[in-house]
Amino acid sequence: MIKFLDLHKINERFRNEIDLRIKKVLDSGWYLLGKEDETFENNFAKFCGVRHCIGCANGLDALNLIIKGYGFKDGDEIIVPANTYIASILAITMNGCIPVLVEPDIKTYNINPDLIEAAITPKTKAIMVVHLYGQAVQTEKIWDITNRYGLKIIEDSAQAHGAMYNGKKTGNLGDASGFSFYPGKNLGCLGDGGCITTNDDELAAKIRAIRNYGSNVKYHNIYKGINSRLDEIQAAVLDVKLKHLDADNMCRREISKYYKENIKNPEIILPETYSENAHVWHIFAVRTKDRDKLQNYLTENDIQTLIHYPTPPHKQECYKEWNNLSFPVTEEIHKTILSLPISPVMEDDEVKKVVEVINGY
């Protein structure tokens, strides 16, 4: 069986270094927001090219903390792509804000910049861009809009660690950015983890406090905060793996290149990229008319695939109030999309086999 993602194999490569760093944490007697967190925050800020990185508990909280940091609430509107993972939307609704869904571009699967302006109202506060599947959103057009209307750009970078647009990395393409370090992400830890990056000094200071009960000085609470800290073990593991992120992303690019050059089946629509550095291929998503048939065929041929995602947020049971809304591009993507195996530990013969099997479909 060719696994969709072999997490054990991914982390096994760094076992010695990870073992040593975890032992160091255990020996230190300090387990939350300590030296490891500080070291990783500094290194990840440097990696993204931003002034601040603030560790937190997971990717959902990273977005949640940005919205809390800006003080958006009670009916404030945030524009967001309709075809994102549920977390982007939950971060908005959990703060009492309203997600205003906008259709993606069918070619990049990212928010269609040409449709954003029509979605702006006097209540709009921000545009949340999602670098979906690992491809950076072309933020230039969006900056033009946010500058004119005085809005913030919040990046959901959970799938795009290291992706670049116009020489800048995700995490540095908007006003503030949320990352997830869920084990399966391009940079993943051994549990849950996340962080916020920004160049905004004031926002960074506020988020730093809010993630830790709204407090900078113990037992002195300036904000109604939450508990969303990055623990020292996860920070240590992330610091080890960060050094290999660019190389891992290069492996993903090579596999995607091989897929794109060699999958030759008129039934399969391949993903498009606008530049080499823009995409870090968290997910290699193809589209086809009868997706379930293709998935079954691949399973029968020992190739594991996943669907990102089977149901769009506006059709989910938890958002009944939107179930009747219609987003045809989003729905078409959800109906036809299928994610092929891609990861830095895939062997050449596995990649070749995927291509051969698909070409025989």
Ligand X SMILES: *Cc1c(COP(=O)(O)O)cnc(C)c1O
Residues that bind ligand X (CB under 6 A): 58-60, 84-85, 87-88, 130, 156, 158-159, 180, 182, 192, 194
CB closer to ligand X, 236 vs 283: 283
Distance, C-alpha 129 to centroid of its chain: 10
Q: Choose between 60 and 100: whose C-beta lies nearer to ligand X.
A: 60
**Nearest residue (CB) to ligand X, 72 versus 179:** 179
Least Å from the CB of residue 136 to ligand X: 13
Nearer to ligand X, 58 or 198 (CB): 58
State how far the Cα of 196 lies from the Cα of 175, in Å rounded to an integer: 11
Q: Which is nearer to ligand X, 222 or 318 (CB)?
A: 318
CB of 200 to ligand X, least distance (A): 21
The answer to whether 110 touches 160, Cβ cutoff 8 Å, is no
Taking the C-alpha atoms of residue 357 and residue 361, their distance in angstroms, rounded to an integer, is 7
Minimum distance from CB of 180 to ligand X (Å)? 3
In whole angstroms, how close is the CB of 313 to ligand X at the nearest point? Answer: 11
Write phi, then psi, for 77 (nearest 5 degrees). Answer: -100, 140
Shortest distance (Å) from residue 194 CB to ligand X: 5
Residue 59: CB minimum distance to ligand X, A: 2
Residue 218 burial (10 A CB sphere; 0-12, 13-18, 19+): exposed
Cβ proximity to ligand X: between 126 and 158 the closer is 158
Closer to ligand X by CB, 81 or 268: give it: 81
Burial of 316 (0-12, 13-18, 19+ CB in 10 A): middle
Beta bridge partners of 198: 52, 176
Contacts of 298 by beta carbon, 8 Å cutoff, 6+ apart: 304, 305, 357, 358
Please identify the residue of the shown chain whose CB is closest to the bound ligand X: 59
Measured between alpha carbons, how far is 268 from 33 in angstroms, rounded to an integer?
A: 47
Contact in structure between 210 and 68 (CB atoms under 8 Å): yes
Q: What is the DSSP letter of 167?
A: T
Gyration radius (Cα) of the chain, Å: 20
Closest contact distance (angstroms) between CB of 293 and ligand X is: 26
